[in-house]
Amino acid sequence: MNKIQKLAALSVLPVAAALLALPAQAAERPSCPVPSKAEAKRSFDAKSDKPPRGATAIKGLHVNHLPNGFTYGQVVVNKHDGITEYGYQWTDDRDDVDIRHRSLWVRVVCWPKAGSLAQLRNAPFDTGTFSGNTRTVKIGDRQVLTQKGDGALGHGRYAGWVERKGVVVTVMASQPLVPELTKIIKGIEL
């Protein structure tokens, strides 16, 4: 092998190393966190956690700002129409209709078609659709769609955004937690 061939072979090594590292990087950051079979079974069986799980209740997602005052928690998994909804709901002992009721629901939706905020208005979610009077706000570096919670969502504020292609995150905070909603959203890491 002459000098030019050796130099050409050596110059390819960094490129080859970078290409080999791509699958490892993709494994570190999965496209969308999915629930385990055990989590899906817990959701189906409607098992609750007392005390509730903490900031890492959803595998692959970290809630850095989790308010205090919750007594129960529950995994929520739903698969339908080619999407997987995976979340956790923290709640207190008060009745759902009590305006002081504290509830926080954080959900990751693996929806391959998701790519823009506008799509959330027509997303095929079973619960928590953006069908009301929505507005777009910037929270941190995220463009977030928000609306007043109503109906099945209860009182408070509902928010959602496309974290990256195919991955949607939604947050529902009951009325007492609305003042902390910006901190909650800023603190979510996927």
Domain ranges of the chain: 1-30, 37-189
At residue 146, the pLDDT reads 95
Rounded distance between C-alpha atoms, residue 177 and residue 113, angstroms? 31
124-128, 152-156, 168-172: range with lowest mean pLDDT? 152-156
Dihedral in degrees, nearest 10, Cα atoms 146, 113, 44, 188: -50
DSSP string, 119-161: GGGG---SS----SS-EEEEETTEEEEEEE--GGG-SSEEEEE
pLDDT in tens, 95-139: 877 778 899 999 999 999 999 999 999 899 888 888 878 999 999
Res 15 pLDDT > 50: no
pLDDT in tens, 38-49: 999 999 999 999
Alpha carbon distances (Å) from 93 to 72, 73, 188: 8, 11, 25
Residue type, 76: V
pTM: 0.81
Q: Are 106 and 87 spatial neighbours (Cβ–Cβ below 8 Å)? A: yes
- How sure is the predictor about 150, in pLDDT bands with cuts at 50, 70 and 90? confident
The conformational region for residue 151 under phi > 0 = left, psi -120 to 50 = alpha, else beta, is left
By three-state DSSP, how is residue 53 classified? Answer: coil
